[in-house]
Amino acid sequence: MIEYLFLGLVFITFIPKIINMYMNANHKIPISKKYYARFYNGTIHGYNKKIHDDIKTISMNSIGEIAPYSIMEGEKFNEKKFILIYDKNNNPVGMNCFFDWKFKDKIITHLGLYLIDEKHKGNNLQKIIAYLNLIHSISEYRFRIIWTDTGRSPSAWKALDKNKIVKYCYPSLEKKFDEKFVNFSKDISKVFFRDYYKECAISDNSIFDENSFCIKNANNEGGFKKLIEFDNNRASSNNKYNNKMNELCPNPEDILLIVCKLHLFI
């Protein structure tokens, strides 16, 4: 029994540290025969021209233009973290730019911008990126993990809501209702919208509705208007998520703010 406790202590103490050192050194992370990933921590390394060029390439091959985010202009690299996916020929084909923010004593990760090359969609790359994001959080000894996310994709919402490692999700069509978590979600969402909406390319004319968790007019003037063109491409295979998204966020310019608490060891 003592031996198992000792091994558990060694695992919790050293394995996250090793993973963190490996990821922050920008090493290749094998995914499959077709793909590998790299993690780039801008909060440690700052601006990197190769990463900047790669995320612009991914944006062009995903939506046909450079996404209206400050990082695409090479700004605020020192506040962001990146997960990039490359194919076997070293071409950048997927990305996630995310950042950590604080609410009182809690560090919260905003999942941020996901873009996948149009030719590489349908290969579960977004799901793989989400798990890499989770591994990164664990590598920083964060076992009580809170995620925020924004978007208008019913399929992305379903992926979070039905994920078994997600204990609570709000809004939710699957998870057990927990009044304490709902109130917590409302508190942090108001702060997130107030302080970080510009980091998410959300319009100055937007309004956060704390009852529906809809950010109204988010993709209007000054926001990520290009995404409106992809509204029909983000539907879920589960119609209840499509219908609920349209109920909560009835206009193409609207997006949903989602809060998740992950269930790991505690």
Domains and CATH numbers, the chain: 1-142 (3.40.630.30)
> Mean pLDDT over residues 103-111, rounded?
93
- Residue 222's pLDDT band, with cuts at 50, 70 and 90, is confident
Chain length of the chain: 266
| The pLDDT value given to residue 236 | 63
Of 132-136, 181-185, 242-246, minimum mean pLDDT range: 132-136
pLDDT of 47 higher than 90:
yes
| The pLDDT value given to residue 1 | 46
Are 74 and 41 spatial neighbours (Cβ–Cβ below 8 Å)? no
pLDDT of 248 higher than 90:
yes
H/E stretch holding 151: strand 146-151
CA distances, 249 to each of 136, 153, 244, 256 (Å): 31, 11, 8, 7
The separation between CA 99 and the C-alpha centre of its own chain, rounded to angstroms, equals 9
Name the average pLDDT for the chain: 87
User: Cα separation of 88 and 232, whole Å?
Assistant: 30
- Residue 239's pLDDT band, with cuts at 50, 70 and 90, is confident
Of 58-67, 206-215, 227-236, minimum mean pLDDT range: 227-236
- Residue 138's pLDDT band, with cuts at 50, 70 and 90, is confident
pLDDT of 15 higher than 70:
no
Tell me the DSSP string of 116-134: E-GGGTTSSHHHHHHHHHH
pLDDT of 129 higher than 80:
yes
| The pLDDT value given to residue 237 | 67
